[in-house]
Amino acid sequence: MIDRDVSQALMQSMLRHPLITLEQRSASQWLQLFRDVSAMRAGISGGLATSILDLPMALLALIVISIVAWPVLPVILVAMVSLGVLAWWWADELRSGRIEEVAKARALDRSTAEVCNARSTLKVLGYDTAAKQSWQAGYDHWLAESFCKNGELENARETSHVLLTFFSISVITVGAIAINAQWMSIGSLMAVNLLATKALAPIAQLASNWRSMARANEAAERLQATLQEPLEVQGQTVELPRPRGHFRLDQVSFQYPSGKSSLEQVSLEIGPGGIHAILGRNGAGKSTLAKLLAGLYKPTQGRIFVDEYDMAQFPRSDLYQWIGCLAQEVYWFSGPIVDCLRMVNPEADDKNIIAACHLAGAHSFISRLPNGYQTVLGEGGAGLSAGELRKLALAQLFLRNPSILILDEPSNDLDFESETALLKTLKQIALKHTVIVITHSSRVASLAQHIYHVRGDGSVEHGSPMQLLPHLFGVAQDIAPYQPGTARPASTSGHNHAQPQEVSSS
């Protein structure tokens, strides 16, 4: 039950951690935490636990020995002290080397996980030999450290066995002398041999079981530290109406735990309604801004409002219902396509799923599959192309029908025809929803009512497509602004552009 409860608490804690915390730990580190649950259980229910539970019996045996065979009592006491000192000394020796052993074991786990995840890439790019050599080096380091610690553990066990043998002989020798002096009987000597085993065995076992106890103690400390980390806001006593999709950033700054600043005192407004494009060079902070708008990141300074409400007060469950995000990379669990789609909305019926797939342009290729919507996806979506998986990710998003859609490179992996269909869909959705698009595509950006250029120095400039796109994409002609529900007028050339507005440090 303890194992089950701790595992459930760890899973719930992981899923409720802020995204910034999740990104700081690799998958292998999270997996190691779940292994720590097993290590803690093994320490509690293993041989060491039995030894500790037997200690009261050892005390009782010692009392009986003092009554029926007091001449050998000093020998038993010396044996107990010697074995206790040995157990303490070996515990300190093993504990001092555990840090390096655990570090190498975790490095090996991380390397193994990376090789397994990148197995296709290794095969395609042909550097599997280098990856194998790197993994082998890590494995050899861990194996050497593990053998060293196992050798120390065997030394502890052998030393305990030698001491037990020595003190057993000493008990018989002292008992024989006591019998010859008529201080005790032969029956008492036979009894004391059995009682001495009961008294000394638990302490002797401590020396050989300290390693599992040290592992369990370290696992418990890691689990406790993880379970005590701050989690996202949960629960909301007042049910608020569905937002219109108006964002307002008030002097927002964001800094990563590493100290890297991404945004500095940015103030701007987005929506409600329409299409809004976030542009900028690689690494400028576009995805960071999108994660702030989605509530996945919390500002280091300043506040973000959705409609008139501060986003900081809302639990993740509410933000999830209102704001739909399409990440650049979407991981797909194994299973039928229909089940994977329904994961985001368990109450969705087949009609809603098909409608969402039509909207995303996924229905046509799903219909051509031999098993249709029951086609089983492999690990990470194996069996479908990158473009097809992108359409499925869009279908998942549309199936939720959020008020606000934040799309990170939605046209990635799409062919020209599919991108054209996506643009048409976005124009349709923008009539009733706020659509925020991160893109490097001039076709997608030209649909937007407003452009937000993340400059990479902490500031954001914004303006219309006519103002910014010629500068950002080197377009010679003006780009007519898009108005929801209307056709785009033809492009013209030779006009002067208004200067874009800049949102920077105040």
- Give the whole-angstrom CA distance, residue 301 versus residue 232: 17
- Give the whole-angstrom CA distance, residue 47 versus residue 445: 66
Contact (Cβ atoms closer than 8 angstroms) between residue 6 and residue 36: no
H helices of 430-494, where?
442-445, 465-473
Q: What is the mean pLDDT of the chain?
A: 78
Q: Return the pLDDT at 503.
A: 42
Give the domains, in start order, of the chain with CATH numbers: 2-227 (1.20.1560.10), 247-503 (3.40.50.300)
Inform me whether the pLDDT recorded for 101 exceeds 70: no
Contact (Cβ atoms closer than 8 angstroms) between residue 289 and residue 263: yes
Q: How far is CA 338 from CA 320, 368, 387, 390, in A?
A: 21, 15, 18, 15
Among the residue ranges 104-108, 183-187, 323-327, the one predicted with the least confidence is 104-108
Inform me whether the pLDDT recorded for 64 exceeds 70: yes
Contact (Cβ atoms closer than 8 angstroms) between residue 176 and residue 73: no
Residue for token digits 């993340």? 454
Q: Tell me the per-residue pLDDT of 428-481, one tens digit each, with 9 for 90 and over.
A: 888 888 999 998 888 888 888 888 888 888 888 888 888 777 777 664 444 444
Q: Give percent helix, percent strand, percent coil of the chain, each to the nearest 5.
A: 60, 10, 30
Inform me whether the pLDDT recorded for 126 exceeds 80: no
Q: Which long-range contacts (CB under 8 A, 24 or more apart) does 58-62 make?
A: 58/198, 58/199, 58/200, 58/201, 58/202, 58/203, 61/195, 61/196, 61/198, 61/199, 62/199
Structure tokens at 120: 């296709």
Average pLDDT over residues 155-178: 80
Q: Return the pLDDT at 224.
A: 84
Partners of 253 in the β-ladder: 301
Quick one: what percent of the chain has pLDDT higher than 90? 2
